Structure formats: C-alpha cells, structure tokens
Structure 1
Amino acid sequence: MELGRLSTDALASFAVFADHLSFTRAAEELHISQPALHVKVRKLSEILGVPLYTRHGRRLALTPAGERVARFARDLDARVSAFLSDVRGAAPARVPALAAGEGAYLYLLGGVVRPGIRLINGDRARTLAAVRTGRADLGVSVLDVMPTDLEAVLLAAYPQVLVMPADHPLAGEPDLTLADLAGASLVAPPPTGPHRVALERALRAAAVPWTLAVEAEGWPLALHFVSLGIGLAVVNGCVIPPPGLVTREIIDLPAVSYHAVHHPSRADDPMVTGLLSEIRTALRNAPCTSRPPSTSTPAPRPSGSS
C-alpha cells in the first residue's frame, strides 16, 4: 500500500529501527537483511526530503523529523490494528507502554509494574525519546529542564538524602547539611551523570572537601557498596535502604522532582490517563516515608537518578 509515494512498509520498518537505533537488531527483528533495511530508510528519507537519523561515531540518534516519522508510523499502525479488530469483532490487542529508568522502576513504580503493561527501560534521554517516537504512551523520569514538545506532569518531589550504616556517627542527627559531609568518602555516580555533576557543584560551592570511594552506576550498586562499608552515598529520598542502612535528609540540597511525560496530543488518550491514574494511586500507597505530598511545588532540581 502506498500513501502517495510513502510506503507503509517503509514506515513500519523505520518504526522498528527507531526502537533499536541499530540496523543490525532492527533487521533481525524484521527478518530482512541490513542492506535491505538501509535502502528502506534511505528511500523514506529521500521521499520526505529530511534526514531521519544522525550518526555520532558508532551511536545513532533520531533527528526531530525522525522522531515525528516514527510516532506517525506507530500511530498509523495502531489505527489500522484498531480498525481491523473492530471489523472482525475482536477486542483491541494494544496494551499501554510505560518508559522509565532503573531507579524509577525500583523505587517509584513498583506498584504499577504488572502483566498487561509493556515496560521500556532506559535513561532519561531514552525515556523521552520513547515518548517522542510513540514507542511509549507515558514516560517517567527526573527532569531538571521541562521539554518544550512534551507535556510534563509532576508526580512527586523527594529530598536528597545521605545513606550510611545505622551505627555511623551522622546517623544520630535528625537531618544534615552539606557541611556535615566534610571529609566524607562518597560512593558517587560516573562523572558525566547529572547527579554527580550537580553534587560536585554543590559541594564545591559549599567549600566541602570530600573523596571518591568508588563510582557506581545506579542506586542498587551504590547501596551495595555502602553496605560493604566502602563509603557513604547521596541518593534520592524515594530510595528505601536495605537493613543495616539509614538515610538522613540533606536540607541544603534541592528536592528531586519526578515527572510523567506524554505527547500533547495524547492528553485525553485512555492509554495515558489510565497509566497516570495507576501511578498516582501507587504513589499514594507507597511505603516511602520521606516523600512530600505530590501536590507540593518542588525546589528547582539539577540532580538525581532517572
């Protein structure tokens, strides 16, 4: 079938490529050769007159036009599927899709994860890309800058806390300031991550000396290192420490705000509103005691884990 010169087969193939950002993996899923997929994507780009992806070394990324094309392709596929289901008298097969990072799934969305929801795991950039391309109906992430092309809904705001063994001297304090971290050996994220950048900036501004104990990607590994006595860690307040560890709020660090994001055209879509309703219910029932009411206005947030 052709929409003018626009092939629906090429659109569907591009949507798979947009999922993987890899010609190798996309071609395998489509059961075609890589050269054949290259041809489909190149011809689609030529017909539209815009580049659909860029290459940065070995990494591929969609252009804004590529994101729009992928979203259009998925929307078209969903409409065709719904039409065929209606004609055949069958129930629609589509399920809601949620994108979020490791930290959000582990500490924020546990009450939402269930069969019947397609889960997409990725960092902040991949979560936003999944929403922009239509791969995900809703994304959840820590945001410091609100995306101008997506609708962002505040879910909850959390303080930043220091995680330490229960017998650590600072565990006797009701709350802490950055000055209390002077001389601390910290388990920190890699240096390019937003949480590490903001934490270093805050410590430097407060003239607080510290040392790096070890770099850890993700809160679970950071907590593991703290449990082993390697060092202390600054994490988001929604993180529930394992037995033997405690958290204390660092009152002069800004709060961490988690947002749900969706495409503006999907504001009234049941797939979006249903997921949002489930997430809000789960947050109200969450065991985390350090969570302020989600209706509060959080402080500007330059750090945190997705």
Structure 2
Amino acid sequence: MPYSLARLLTRLSFRQLQVFHTVCHHLSYSRAAEQLGLTQPAVSSQVRQLEQALGQPVFEYVGKQLYITAAGQRLEQAVGSIFSDLERLQMELAEMEGQVRGELKLAAVSTAQYVVPYLLQGFLRQYPQVDVHLEIVNRARATQRLTENRDDLVIMGMPPESSALRSTPFLDNVMIPVVRVDNPLLRSKKVDPQTFLNAKLLIREPGSGTRKALEQWCQQKRLTFNPHMELGSNAAIKHGVLAGLGVAVLPKLSVRAELKLGELASLDLEGFALRRAWCSVYPAAKHPTPVMQAFLDYIRNTMGELEQLVYGEAL
C-alpha cells in the first residue's frame, strides 16, 4: 500500500529519482550504473526503495528486456517536470546574481554539425558556466524531438512549416555540386545541370533536408531528379564521391577540406550554388529558459560575424 504524501516525502530522495530517470533513459541497469558512477547492485537497490515507497513496480523484465510499467511511465512524467522546474530555478537564481548558468540542450541535424561548433565557440567564451548537451540526429528525428519538446533548440535547415513552431534563420547553408577530381565532367567546357544529375547522383534518404532542397530546385527548373544511390549521411556521400561512385550536391562546409586538398572539385553549373538557411527552431508555446534566451540573443546579435567566421574566403 502506498505511503501518505508526508511519509512518502520522508522516504524518497532526489538520488532515487535521478537513478530512476537514468534507468528510464537507457532501459538498462548496467548502463545507468555506468553513467552515474555506481555499481549495478546500488542502482537496483535505489529502484527497489523507490518501488517500496510507491507501492508499485516501476520496471519489469519481459525475457531479458527491461520495460517501464504504467506506474513508471507516470512517475517519469512527474520526475521530468520536477527536474525541469529545478533546472529553471537554478537558472533564475543565477540570473538574479547577474550570471547565465545552467544547461543548454541542443539537437542538430547531421549537416548542421559543421555549423554548431562555430556557434558554441563564442557563446561559451561569453558564458563559460553553461553546460551544453548536443545530439546529432537526422531530419526525421529532429522533427520528432521538436514534437516531443525534448530540447531547448533544434538547429536545422528547412524546418517543418507549422504555426506551432518558431523558426529563426541565422546563416546560409551553401550547397554545391561536387565531383572527384578525375571525373570526365571536369574536362567539358560547359556542363548542363541535367547531365550532372544523370551522372550517377548520390543522394540522402527521402525526407532529409539536403535531398529536399535539391528536389525542390529540380522542380523549379523542370529538371528530372535522377538519383543513382541513396546513402545515410552526407559524410557517406562525400566518401562515395571520393571513391568514384558518382557525383553529389553537398554543403560547402562539409567538403571544404577536400576542395582545398584537390581531392574534390566543384562544377560551375547554372543555378548553383543552392542557398538555404540554417534555422534555430523550437515550439512556439515554449517559454525560453534564461540560458536558452541568452543563446537566442547571441545568435541574433552575431549573425554577420558568424557568416565571416564560418565561411571566410569560402563564399
């Protein structure tokens, strides 16, 4: 039988809730123990004490797989809310002291991984007491995380069109046609875009921002979008071009080193470079934390400097 609230408060600890929250995240006692610096028996003991206080199991094994029970799911919602409130309190107390301190949770689509370090470089120099947690995901996962309100901000190109989201562009994403340096197309005086598209085009999976931008451009120019091979990341596509598998349209930042080394070359094609914007995106109903607001202000105030820092001579 569950304890009364007064007795429950005397038997629960934040450590138990932290352990529970971590096990929920990993669905593994051993991985939770590794993250928390505890032994697996210690994690199991904390969970048992929590279950005794609640009077219900919060986890169960089916075969060898750990699952969260219905009571555990409800507790996870409550714990998430408690920890979010405590985090906001910590930030607000720091703000009262004239400081910006706390956690900044970011997610970025894979192509934005070349941009985010430049954003963080100056921001963390200005706010050294901020802890940044960054997840690199594909566009579909980034959109899902927005729906679930998992992050403070998502950095992505071509955000979903929705009145439920607030999106602010801050930097051009310059995409260029690239080939290996021995590709026969480089020997032609002029290459038309359709010839390039027919030259074994390597492309991302459906739904990715890079692919979507190229598909839209082909529609506008009334060209046939003719993919030869789908690969799961821009890095894989770049190496595919280097291996001679075909040609590609890639963010300039992702191939800048290979262009300088002479391993890849950019074709002079009509209509290129394609320019889309990197955007900071978050749910419109979200109330920014002090750290999140500081990061938004930093992006807005340094857009011009950021373009020079990121691209420099490359533009």
Distance 2:105 2:149 in 1: 9
- What runs of 5+ residues in structure 1 fail to find an aligned partner? 47-57, 292-306
TM-score by length of 2: 0.59
Deviations 1:14-56 (A, max 9, x none): 6545655666534543545469659969x99x9xxxxxxxxxx
C-alpha contact 2:112 2:155 (8 A) present in aligned 1 = yes
Q: Report the alpha carbon displacement of residue 13 of structure 1 after superposing the two structures with TM.
A: 5.0
Structure 1 match to 2:118:
111
Aligned partner (choices 25, 33, 39) of residue 31 of structure 2: 25
C-alpha contact 1:98 1:137 (8 A) present in aligned 2 = yes
Q: 1:159 to 1:74 in 2, by over 3 A?
A: same
**Does residue 122 in structure 1 map to residue 129 in structure 2?**
no
Instruction: Name the % identity.
Output: 19
Of 151-160 and 246-255, the range deviating more from structure 2: 246-255
2:116 partner SS: coil
Instruction: Please give the root-mean-square deviation of Cα atoms over the aligned residues, in Å.
Output: 5.3
Q: Report the alpha carbon displacement of residue 118 of structure 1 after superposing the two structures with TM.
A: 1.2
Distance 2:179 2:98 in 1: 55
Instruction: Report matched runs for 1:86-165 at 5 Å.
Output: 94-106=102-114, 108-114=115-121, 116=128, 117-123=131-137, 124-127=139-142, 136-146=151-161, 149-158=164-173, 160-165=175-180
Distance 2:215 2:32 in 1: 40
Of 196-205 and 154-163, the range deviating more from structure 2: 196-205
Instruction: Report matched runs for 1:109-258 at 5 Å.
Output: 109-114=116-121, 116=128, 117-123=131-137, 124-127=139-142, 136-146=151-161, 149-158=164-173, 160-166=175-181, 168=183, 170-171=185-186, 177=193, 179-189=194-204, 191=205, 194=208, 198=212, 206-207=223-224, 209=226, 211-212=228-229, 215-241=230-256, 242-243=258-259, 244=262, 245-248=264-267, 251=271, 256-258=276-278
C-alpha contact 1:176 1:251 (8 A) present in aligned 2 = no
Of 108-117 and 246-255, the range deviating more from structure 2: 246-255
**Higher-helix-fraction structure:** 2
Structure 2 match to 1:276:
296
Q: Report the alpha carbon displacement of residue 104 of structure 1 after superposing the two structures with TM.
A: 0.8
Q: Report the alpha carbon displacement of residue 260 of structure 1 after superposing the two structures with TM.
A: 0.7
Q: 1:100 to 1:38 in 2, by over 3 A?
A: farther
Distance 2:46 2:77 in 1: 22
Distance 1:278 1:180 in 2: 43
Structure 1 match to 2:311:
287
Query: How many residues of Structure 1 are paired with residues of Structure 2 in the alignment?
Result: 275
Which of these two proteins has the greater Rg computed from alpha carbons? 2
Structure 1 match to 2:61:
none
Deviations 1:108-133 (A, max 9, x none): 22322346451312213554566666
Q: Report the alpha carbon displacement of residue 223 of structure 1 after superposing the two structures with TM.
A: 2.0
TM-score by length of 1: 0.61
Q: 1:144 to 1:165 in 2, by over 3 A?
A: same
- What runs of 5+ residues in structure 2 fail to find an aligned partner? 57-64
Q: Report the alpha carbon displacement of residue 140 of structure 1 after superposing the two structures with TM.
A: 0.6
